[in-house]
Amino acid sequence: MTTRSLLLLPGDGIGPDIMAEVQKLIDWMNTNLDAGFTTEEGLVGGSAYDAHGVAISDEDMAKAMAADAVLFGAVGGPKWDDVPYEARPEAGLLRLRKDMELFANLRPAICYPALSDSSSLRKHLIEGLDILIVRELTGGVYFGEPKEITDLGNGQKRAVDTQVYDTFEIERIAGVAFELARTRDNRVCSMEKRNVMKSGVLWNEVVTEIHGRKYSDVKLDHMLADAGGMQLVREPKQFDVIVTDNLFGDMLSDVAAMLTGSLGMLPSASLGAPDAATGKRKALYEPVHGSAPDIAGEGKANPIAMIASFAMCLRYSFNMIDEADRIEKAISNVLESGKRTADIMADDSTQISTGQMGDAIVIQMAALSP
Ligand code: IPM
Ligand code: MG
């Protein structure tokens, strides 16, 4: 029988609440579909700091490197506001991304029909929305050196972050965007700030070059990232795949997420390059939303983004396309039936808890499975 190894890193805040709902699905799939998932757990973020004094231990890092895929909940919370910068909860996530070389972050923003009234935009603008943001995840200003605050000695300090991209980094993320576009509506919009930034000039050049050389069947547009942000809220359905750098991708994906009604709905996949020998990619799957410490442990968190991240894991790490489709359909059916967690409540809906949402999705999954 196949075994599929998963490392679960629930993290902080609502992380454990939503991970528990994925565990239900894993158990169900093992029992009913012989899926052969094996799971280990590790600590990341504030919970790792409390236990080990670091945002992720070397031991848990090694487990992440060895697993077929990592499922990540969320990190952070006011409890850790004063820990040293190097050990802040987010540092655990950034180390995972960097050490596992997860350069490609896929953030789909789809609007479930049942939620088309929950968006901050008018219904006709977001009904049927299906865009994919491909965010570069291991370069740019997140990791560029120098990154420091120096004392200028005259009562002033100077803070420096470095935005830096090499050709190969832009080429490989553009390649991912073009390949994925071919499986969708075959259109890519690349966003940068070439009017102000040298990294934007190179970004634009490299994307254009690789497009001409390898992907000229895909329709390519370029947009300045600020204009891109404006277009995302003006007419989001004009986009198919958006490819952009680490920082712009961070901001634009939050904007895109909110268009769909709630930040609690959106999954993401972070992928490395295929291994030369096995073809397997290192991978981490996480919801786009954060740790929401104010509602942790109260049964109020929406587990859908986490569960949809698990569906992405089935799709991209295990090639279990039918099963991934079924989970996504199960989520959609539960929403259609009017069951909602607090964040997406509407007048004619029934409010349910985190656990009840997980149960409802498992029941739908069972109903949809042969
Ligand atoms: C995200 C988050 C992270 C980021 C934080 C938690 C470091 O906002 O995944 O979008 O900035 O990349
Ligand atoms: Mg973000």
In tens, the pLDDT along 212-221 reads: 999 999 999 9
The residue ranking higher by pLDDT, 185 or 114, is 185
Strands 267-274 and 281-287, how do they pair? antiparallel
For ligand 1, atom 9, the nearest C-alpha belongs to: 288
Q: Provide the pLDDT confidence category of residue 191 given band limits of 50, 70 and 90.
A: very high
From residue 55, how far is each of 12, 82, 90, 192, 300 by CA, in Å? Answer: 11, 13, 7, 31, 26
The residue with tokens 């509407």 is 346
Q: Residue 35 has what pLDDT?
A: 97
Cα of 254 to ligand 1 centre, how many Å? 10
Q: Which domains does the chain have, with CATH numbers?
A: 1-103+276-370 (3.40.718.10), 113-271 (3.40.718.10)
- Region 339-344: mean pLDDT is 93
| pLDDT of res. 119 | 86
Confidence of residue 264 (pLDDT cuts 50, 70, 90): confident
Average pLDDT, the chain: 96
Q: For position 262, what pLDDT does the model report? A: 76
161 is catalytic: no
Which residues are paired to 72 by β-bridges?
A: 9
| Total Cβ atoms within 10 A of residue 64 | 23
Q: What is the per-residue pLDDT for 197?
A: 98
Name every protein residue with a CB atom under 6 angstroms from any ligand 1 atom: 90, 93, 250
Asked if 292 contacts 125 with a C-beta cutoff of 8 angstroms, the reply is: no
- Model confidence over 71-111: pLDDT tens digits? 999 999 999 999 999 999 999 999 999 999 999 999 999 99
364: CA distance to ligand 2 center in Å? 31
- For a substitution probing ligand 1, which of 14, 90, 133 has the most ligand atoms within 8 Å of its CB? 90
Instruction: Give 2's pLDDT tier (boundaries 50, 70, 90).
Output: confident
**How many Å lie between the centroid of ligand 2 and the Cα of residue 253?**
7
Output the residue whose Cα is nearest ligand 1's atom 12.
250
Whole-angstrom Cα distance, residue 289 to residue 284?
A: 15
How large is the average pLDDT for residues 236-246? 98
Q: In a 3-state reduction of DSSP, which class is residue 120?
A: coil
Please enumerate in sequence order all residues whose Cβ is within 8 A of that of 55, keeping only pairs 6 or more positions apart, or say none: 44, 45, 48, 49, 75, 87, 88, 89, 90, 91, 92, 93, 95
